[in-house]
């Protein structure tokens, strides 16, 4: 895939979701993201406000997770978490769907929960000029291909912006095959985020080539160093954003906030 270094950077959610992450680690993550102009930092909910302050005046958004990594929380708990994250300065929310209920055949429950969460995001968009994005993690490693397609359809119907492969804490991470399947199933307007096990430039380019528009990775700096050290990429991206080309939302729409286990 022909991609520029700058364009590659804007696909990366620089991620730190390890249980032993410290505030100093989050500060470093934010500095690295600002230096490389990553799409966002993805941090634990307790560090959303801290990251928003660290990234004020930059072009990097703050993302966080909801009901991570198992998706077990009740809808009411997830709603409260969404509200708290948005009020703290998060521009993007990576929500884990209720995998247990989904595998139990309760797709209606999952669909209604995701629709409720998207209503909260829509309400936030209505109150603020800044756009809030919603990504739904379906944890593909637990799902058959048929269930992956069903989950993608449910995510699309909910109004979310992205369907995301993995938490990075499950039995497996993103695969090229899964990304291609999700991209094939996802309608126009629903982008695909790959996460889990993306550690090298080759990994990143393979996921983008398969149809991902965003990458969740804790190895973003190493990937960019590899790209800059003869990775064969152009010095800058002169094409439209990947999301726009592949049917999903621009990761940095007008008015967006300046703001692991992956």
Which of 78, 130, 164, 203 is flagged as catalytic? 164
138, 148 contact by CB (below 8 A): yes
Q: Establish whether 164 is a catalytic residue.
A: yes
Pairing of strands 133-137, 12-15: unpaired
93, 85 contact by CB (below 8 A): yes
Nearest residue to 3 via CA among 215, 247, 219, 254: 215
Which of 130, 135, 193, 243 is flagged as catalytic? 193
Q: Establish whether 94 is a catalytic residue.
A: yes
Which of 13, 73, 78, 94 is flagged as catalytic? 94
- Residue 203's Cα: distance from chain center in Å? 16
For the stretch 181-184, contacts whose Cβ atoms lie closer than 8 Å and that sit 24 or more positions apart, written own/partner, are 181/145, 181/148, 181/149, 182/140, 182/148, 182/152, 182/211, 183/210, 183/211, 183/212, 183/246, 184/211
Could you list the active site residues? Answer: 94, 164, 193
């Amino acid at each position: 895939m022909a991609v520029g270094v700058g364009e590659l950077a804007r696909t990366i959610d620089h991620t730190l979701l390890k249980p032993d992450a410290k505030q100093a680690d989050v500060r470093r993550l934010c500095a690295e993201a600002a230096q490389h102009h990553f799409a966002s930092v993805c941090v634990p909910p307790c560090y959303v406000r801290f990251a928003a302050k660290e990234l004020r005046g930059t072009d990097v958004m703050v993302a966080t997770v909801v009901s991570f990594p198992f998706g077990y929380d009740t809808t009411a708990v997830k709603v409260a978490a969404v509200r708290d994250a948005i009020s703290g300065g998060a521009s993007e929310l990576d929500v884990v769907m209720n995998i247990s209920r989904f595998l139990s055949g309760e797709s209606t429950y999952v669909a209604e929960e995701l629709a409720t969460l998207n209503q909260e995001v829509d309400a936030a968009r209505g109150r603020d000029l800044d756009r809030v994005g919603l990504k739904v993690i379906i944890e593909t490693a637990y799902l058959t291909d048929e269930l992956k397609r069903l989950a993608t359809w449910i995510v699309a119907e909910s109004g979310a912006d992205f369907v995301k492969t993995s938490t990075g804490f499950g039995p497996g991470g993103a695969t090229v095959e899964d990304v291609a399947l999700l991209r094939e199933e996802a309608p126009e307007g629903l982008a695909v985020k790959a996460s889990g096990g993306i550690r090298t430039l080759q990994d990143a380019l393979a996921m983008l080539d398969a149809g991902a528009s965003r990458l969740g990775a804790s190895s973003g700096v190493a990937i960019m160093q590899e790209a800059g050290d003869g990775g064969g990429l152009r010095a800058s991206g002169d094409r439209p954003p990947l999301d726009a080309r592949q049917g999903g939302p621009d990761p940095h729409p007008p008015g967006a906030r300046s703001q692991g286990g992956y």
